[in-house]
Amino acid sequence: DHLGRGQYVEAVLLCERVLAAVPDAADALHISALATFRQGDPAGGIDRLVRALELQPENPDLLANLALMQLETGELEAAADCFAAALDLAPGDAVTRLRLGLTLHKLGRADESEKTYREAIRRAPDFAPAHYNLAVLLEARGAAEEALTEFETTQIGRAHV
């Protein structure tokens, strides 16, 4: 697994060989996109991921990774849309829901962010990062008592991990 070891050049080269033989190999495009992005070519990574999505438009992992790339390149609205689309396909994905909440918060849409964190908690009550981010948001809004409850839940959740 070249990608997991940070061997991005090798990952891209291997994917290019696969794509030469099977041009519609969405998984190879996906891995190549991630490696290309991590090599410092965000436009190339996004382009490859968009091509993979053309082949597998119902793949929530592709959508979530595109959203992460958009988030890292400052395309916050596009990232929020992609995270939401990924959640339409995989509503139980707590990490993607958390990332949507963070993105909405960065966009200044605190009410939507709060709703997103609360939905993440409803779906995964022991998911400490959602409690933590909700606590931070509540604290910023001056809801100190509720924020403290969420912070305490985070500590309890960490004790069980």
Give the span between the Cα atoms of 137 and 1, in whole angstroms: 38
Phi, psi angle pair for 109, to nearest 5°: -105, 65
Tens digit of each residue's pLDDT (9 = 90 or more) over 123-154: 999 899 999 999 999 999 999 888 888 888 87
Q: For 7, which DSSP code?
A: -
Write out pLDDT tens, residues 6-51. 777 787 788 788 888 988 989 999 988 998 898 899 999 999 999 9
The per-residue pLDDT for range 42-79, each reduced to its tens digit, is 999 999 999 999 999 999 999 999 999 999 999 999 99
Alpha carbon distance 31, 22 (integer Å)? 14
Q: Using an 8 Å Cβ cutoff, are 101 and 80 in contact?
A: no
- Whether 127 and 94 have beta carbons less than 8 Å apart is answered as yes
Q: What's the pLDDT at 152?
A: 85
Q: What's the predicted TM-score (pTM) here? A: 0.86
For residue 121 the two structure tokens come to: 């908690």
